[in-house]
Amino acid sequence: MNPFTPLALPNGAIIPNRIAKAAMEENMADKDHAPSEHLLRLYRAWAEGGAGLLITGNVMIDRRAMTGPGGVVLDSGLHSARFEKWAAAARAHGAHIWMQLNHPGRQMPAALDQETIAPSAVAMDLGSFSKQFSAPRAMTEADIAEVKANFVKAAQLAEKFGFNGVQIHAAHGYLLSQFLSPITNRREDQWGGTIENRARLLTDIVKDVRAAVGSGFSVAVKLNSADFQRGGFSTDDAKRVVEMLNPLGVDMLELSGGSYEAPAMQGEARDGRTLAREAYFLEFAKDIRAVARMPVMVTGGIRRYAVVEQVLGSGIDMAGIGTALALDPQLPNTWRNDRAHAPLLRAVSFKNKVLASLAYMAMVKHQLRRLSRGKRANPDVAPVFALLQQQLDTAIRNFKYRKWIQA
């Protein structure tokens, strides 16, 4: 299928083409943890680049629960003008803009000095890096009710501020993904045990969000095709969750994989499985696609036009692109005339997989910072330099966050 063919969603919305800018964590909020001018400039670049759908980096539904410092927070109606400018910048050239809503659960850095909650009191297992995350406490019924309400409130505000939709993040080891995985969810109540119970929080949130927003406002879900950890969330689990999502009015399902402990979204599995060099999750997605009654998007390592065609030709509806669009925001427009163009980030050769994962994320964020300042990307940035730069930026933002949250 031609990647520039429009896509009709179940709610009637029309995405102008099948290329999506997948979510990447920008950490570019302003001093109020609202969208900054740098963030707006970044989204203007992507809007001009020709992707049909732009999915924001994760927006936090609770200022006390952050995936990292410098993240945008949407838990009140304050700073509405800045959110409206963000939506307008992204929509200026016809693309749709969806706000990705997220809660980190146990994947919240300890340096933020906030209480960490999770389905169960299961600490992160990152070897010598584990101490960077506080051990979580198991959530109470009140905690669960508050999380549900915060997702709904954020979705309503996103609609009010001019976004075309929201994506509920239930992948990559964040809170909703933690509920789905038997490794991190050891509860014995209605929220744990069977896959139906482990998926209850996600399905409740989807139902509540769908009921709270307009019919033309898109509601999407990001789901792991698997955790790629032994004993974790499996592809069979994912298929069962998709079956539960089918009747709930989901407009698109994005399939990815992995977590901080097993960063399959960067091509690294922890259960011995081998992932493809590009379109990491396509084979898993084709299996899950068989039970999905909503459009399906696949993200993970895509950077070549031929791979986009392969993804769409396999029955997947949309190709999500992250790093390649951080290297070249004009990539979709370029592909209209030069299908051989394929941006490539410098390889990371660190033997320590956790350190290599951190370096890779730092290299991507280095590109995002350059684009947000109107500069060209630098795909040859040294991993060590990017990592040191990121550590300094994070330390400064950690300090600013702790000061802000106490104000």
Q: With 80 as the cut, is the pLDDT of residue 265 above it?
A: no
pLDDT of residue 134: 92
| pLDDT (0 to 100) of residue 130 | 87
List, for residues 54-92, the tens digit of each pLDDT value.
999 999 999 999 999 999 999 999 999 999 999 999 999
Looking at residue 23, its pLDDT comes to 97
DSSP labels for 303-351?
--HHHHHHHHHTT-SEEEE-HHHHH-TTHHHHHTT-TT----PPP---S
pLDDT of residue 43: 98
Enumerate the domain spans of the chain.
Answer: 7-344
Q: Would you say 255 and 261 are in contact if contact means Cβ atoms under 8 Å apart?
A: no
pLDDT tens digits for range 26-50: 999 999 999 999 999 999 999 999 9
Query: Strand ranges (DSSP E) for 24-105?
Result: 53-55, 59-60, 96-102
pLDDT grade, residue 273 (50/70/90)?
A: very low
Amino acid, single-letter form, for residue 201:
L
Dist CA 127 CA 270 (whole Å): 13
What's the pLDDT score for residue 120? 98
Place of tokens 């693309």: 95
Mean pLDDT along residues 12-35: 97
Quick check: 271 pLDDT over 70? no
Residue 262 has pLDDT above 80, yes or no: no
Cα separation, 239 vs 244, whole angstroms: 9
What pTM did the predictor assign? 0.94
Helix (H) or strand (E) holding 266: none
Confidence class of residue 264 from pLDDT cuts 50, 70 and 90?
very low
Confidence of residue 270 (pLDDT cuts 50, 70, 90): very low
- The CATH homologous superfamily to which domain 7-344 belongs is Aldolase class I (3.20.20.70)
Query: Nearest-CA neighbor of 46 among 377, 399, 388?
Result: 377
Instruction: Report the mean per-residue pLDDT for the chain.
Output: 93
